[in-house]
Amino acid sequence: MTNAPLTTVDGRAITLQSVSKIWGDSRAVDDLSIEVPAGTFTALLGPSGCGKSTTLRMIAGLESVDEGRIRIGDEEVNERAPSKRDLSMVFQSYALFPHLSVAENIVFGLKVRRVSRADRDARLNRVADLLGLSALLERKPAQLSGGQQQRVALGRAIIGEKPVCLMDEPLSNLDAKLRQEMRTEIRALQQQLGFTMVYVTHDQVEAITMADQVVLLNKGRLEQAATPRDLYERPATPFSARFVGTPPMNLIPASALKPLAQADTLLIGVRPEALILDPKGPITAKVKTVEYHGADTLAECSINSEPMQVRLSGGSVVTAGDTVSFGFAAEALHVFDVMQNCRRDDLLPEIGAMLCS
Amino acid sequence: MMRRMALKREWIHGWLLLLPAMVFLFAFTHIPAITTFINSFYSTPRGKRAAKFIGTANYERMFDDPVFWQVLWNNIWFAVGTIPLSIGLAIVMALWVNEKMIGRSFLRMAFFTPTVLPLIAVANIWMFFYTPGFGLFDQLRSGLFGLPSTNYLGSPDTALNAIIVVTVWKEAGFFMIFYLAALQAMPVSLKEAAQIEGANRWTIFWRITFPMLMPTTLFVTVNAVINSFRLVDHIFILTDGGPDNASALLLFYIYETAFRFWETGYGATLTVALLALLSLLAIGQFFFFDKKVHYK
């Protein structure tokens, strides 16, 4: 990427206060409150159907807000048309106009807003330079590859120099290698230009690697809003714990572990990579299958018929059918309360003392 | 040798498969067209007098025939009056019934009904509307405004326009279906992207929707042009070409010449003129539109 002198913008903060979207008798988004600080990158993460796209579309103004308030900057925008919210958006399908050339696609918004021709051309050149589209400006979208189409959509979003940019799963139609490149590129673009980004994805790797803040949604409700590091290290709910990290965190009912047989509303969480072979360890499990990955080995185990995954370093040897004991460091322990659907940090010292040596 | 045999068999096989369609195409399209072209250089056979070659005499007659020029002019006026209006109406109706609203399917059906009705029924309904004195229009005129009765179909000034109205009414709903299908195939995200970029409904229509409907518009226009030169049935029932040929169109004139007056030679000449005109129009349209139409 060249360092073209593209104008930076002052991002605006976005605030959602108890926002809901109701379709008939189901609540697609339910009492959602989020703070997106100005100039930061926030990822809306969650499984499909969790309401993340609906939330984005409500911010954009493409969907009405049934309850609650959305503020962009200092103004409430609930009743405002999409064009009056001063934002840009990249769609999952890119939504490029098929009958217009790349150049016409990119400057569409400027033309609509009657920006002068000279200004338009100057900005087009800068954006095309920045995104490496200069040689393709006369082409039609159908003559471009998926990655190039993606860049045109990005160009159309950034040329307006809007303080807020929304993206709805923009990378899901690209192959894995290109997706990784674009991830870095979009993040760099956002930091360079300084706009506020709200980015919808169902891919936790995308969310964790790109965002300043990850908002995890489940069934229309907020599970957790935190930095990627906090989300990984201190998941607030069992759902957060399972959703982030591959393979997902093991959540073992406390009753399956001998010292904790009475605490039946608790879940003990340990990430597969935190488990180590330890003959004196508190967890005894039967190995069911072993997958060799080179750098590490993935073992599928069971403790009293509760499944558990273990990721062992490449050198360790276990075989299917073995009964093995595992241990883990006290910092790797997570405790969740099933009934209250929350994290119980207050119990960590007590349970840590029982399980970890 | 074997290979040549196999190749030949394949060849025969292919032609046999084509044969049924070819027989019909030749019997009912190509041979009549060629015969018509040949006949246009012959006189009309009568009784014992066989047709004889008369060169371009029929064509000379055609160019001197004031009725030919009148019906041609009528036809051009008819095309200009019906095509833009019915296409415009079709787009407006399609945009309207493409919106989410109550009674949408009823509206769609209502717009399409004229197309489903038999031509004779349509013509008769409109006969009733136009009847002087107690027709619907005259009743409205005298009942609401106290105006005198009129004879839309009976006066040379209004007869053709009255037929134009009926044709637009019948065709717009048919064209609407094509536009509706095209609109529904258009991704919603394009409209949303344009909205976010600040375009209002008018801009979205002219910069996005209308250009993307161009392939449909080409198809519909070609059809509309052909239809406008093909129309006879309404005329039979509504005006019979009158008064004083004021509502006669080219095909109607051909029918009259060939099958009422039995001047088949001259009829063939007129037919050749019609075919030439239609092919010119069709080719011209494709060339004209080709630069402006974006196909996906």
CATH code at position A311? 2.40.50.140
Residue B179 included in any domain: yes
E strands, chain B, are none
Is the pLDDT reported for residue A5 higher than 70? no
d(CA A88, CA A168): 11
A321 min Cα distance to partner chain B (Å): 54
For B220-266, what is each residue's pLDDT tens digit? Answer: 988 888 888 887 877 888 887 777 778 888 888 899 888 888 888 88
Is A159 touching B (CB cutoff 8 A)?
no
Residue A50 included in any domain: yes
Residue B27 included in any domain: no
Burial class (CB within 10 angstroms; exposed 0-12, middle 13-18, buried 19+) of A39: buried
Residue A66 included in any domain: yes
**What are A120's two structure tokens?**
């338009």
Name the residue in chain A with its Cα closest to that of B294. Answer: A99
Task: Look at chain B and report how many structural domains it folds into.
Answer: 1
For residue B231, the model assigns a pLDDT of 79
The answer to whether the CB atoms of A91 and B192 lie below 8 A apart is yes
**What are A48's two structure tokens?**
């499909």
For residue B144, the model assigns a pLDDT of 80
Is the pLDDT reported for residue A123 higher than 70? yes
Residue B13 included in any domain: no
The answer to whether the CB atoms of A83 and B208 lie below 8 A apart is no
Cα A29 from chain centre? 17
Going by C-beta distance under 8 Å and a sequence separation of 6 or more, which residues neighbour residue A189?
A130, A154, A158
B115-to-A113, B31, B112 alpha-carbon distances in Å: 42, 32, 6
Same domain, A174 and A202: yes
Is the pLDDT reported for residue B140 higher than 70? yes
A340 min Cα distance to partner chain B (Å): 40
- Domain span at residue B213 reads 67-124+155-290
Same domain, A221 and A73: yes
Residue A337 included in any domain: yes
Residue B199 included in any domain: yes
A152 min Cα distance to partner chain B (Å): 13
Residue B148 included in any domain: no
For residue B296, the model assigns a pLDDT of 56
d(CA B193, CA B184): 17
Mean pLDDT throughout A44-72?
Answer: 93
* Average model confidence (pLDDT) across chain A: 89
Residue A219 included in any domain: yes
Same domain, A93 and A179: yes
For residue A176, the model assigns a pLDDT of 87
Instruction: Find the CATH number of the domain harbouring B102.
Output: 1.10.3720.10
A102 min Cα distance to partner chain B (Å): 15
Residue A145 included in any domain: yes
Name the residue in chain B with its Cα closest to that of A99. Answer: B294
Same domain, A255 and A204: no
Given A210, A238, A266, the domain boundary residue is A238
For B158-174, what is each residue's pLDDT tens digit? Answer: 888 888 898 899 889 89
Residue A298's φ and ψ, nearest 5 degrees, are -105, 120
Is the pLDDT reported for residue A110 higher than 50? yes
The answer to whether the CB atoms of B296 and A98 lie below 8 A apart is yes
Is the pLDDT reported for residue B1 higher than 80? no
Same domain, A189 and A264: no
d(CA A71, CA A76): 4
- Where is average pLDDT lowest: A230-234, A313-317, B103-107, B259-263? A313-317
Same domain, A263 and A207: no
Same domain, A310 and A257: yes
For residue A234, the model assigns a pLDDT of 92
For B32-74, what is each residue's pLDDT tens digit? Answer: 999 999 988 888 888 777 778 888 888 888 888 888 899 899 8
Q: How confident is the model at residue B92 (pLDDT cuts 50, 70, 90)?
A: very high
Going by C-beta distance under 8 Å and a sequence separation of 6 or more, which residues neighbour residue A330?
A348, A352, A356
- Using a CB–CB cut-off of 8 Å, the residues of B that contact A are 187, 189-190, 192-200, 203, 207-208, 211-212, 214, 294, 296
Residue B77 included in any domain: yes
Is the pLDDT reported for residue B22 higher than 50? yes
For residue A41, the model assigns a pLDDT of 95
Same domain, A204 and A56: yes
Residue A74 included in any domain: yes
Residue B10 included in any domain: no
For residue B176, the model assigns a pLDDT of 92
Residue A76 included in any domain: yes
Going by C-beta distance under 8 Å and a sequence separation of 6 or more, which residues neighbour residue A253?
A264, A266, A267, A268, A306
- Where is average pLDDT lowest: A107-121, A215-229, B95-109, B279-293? B279-293
Q: Which residues of B touch A62 (CB under 8 A)?
A: 192, 195-196
Which of B195, B196, B207 has the most A C-beta neighbours within 10 Å, making it the best mutation to test the interface with A?
B196
Is the pLDDT reported for residue A107 higher than 90? yes
Strand order in the sheet with A75-76: A26-36, A14-23, A67-72, A75-76
Is the ipTM higher than 0.90? The answer is no
Instruction: Find the CATH number of the domain harbouring A223.
Output: 3.40.50.300
Is A64 touching B (CB cutoff 8 A)?
no
The answer to whether the CB atoms of A98 and B199 lie below 8 A apart is no
Of A97, A112, A113, the CB nearest to B190: A97
* Average model confidence (pLDDT) across chain B: 86
The answer to whether the CB atoms of A62 and B198 lie below 8 A apart is no
**What percent of chain A is predicted at pLDDT more than 90?**
62
Same domain, A157 and A288: no
* A334 contacts A316 by C-beta, under 8 angstroms: no
The answer to whether the CB atoms of A99 and B197 lie below 8 A apart is no
For residue A2, the model assigns a pLDDT of 42
The answer to whether the CB atoms of A89 and B196 lie below 8 A apart is yes
Same domain, A271 and A202: no
Going by C-beta distance under 8 Å and a sequence separation of 6 or more, which residues neighbour residue A35?
A13, A14, A15, A16, A225
Task: Look at chain A and report how many structural domains it folds into.
Answer: 2
Q: Which residues of A touch B195 (CB under 8 A)?
A: 62, 81-83
Write down how long chain B is.
296
Most confident range (mean pLDDT) of A220-229, A246-255, B110-119, B219-228 is A220-229
Given A238, A266, A286, the domain boundary residue is A238
- Domain span at residue A165 reads 14-238
Half-sphere exposure of A213 (CA within 13 A, CB side): 18
Q: Which residues of A touch B187 (CB under 8 A)?
A: 93, 95
Q: How many helices (H) and strands (E) does chain A have?
A: 10, 19
Of A60, A99, A142, the CB nearest to B196: A60
Given A238, A265, A289, the domain boundary residue is A238
Same domain, A133 and A44: yes
Is the pLDDT reported for residue A1 higher than 50? no
Is the pLDDT reported for residue B196 higher than 80? yes
Same domain, A210 and A284: no
Residue B194 included in any domain: yes
Give this prediction's pTM.
Answer: 0.80
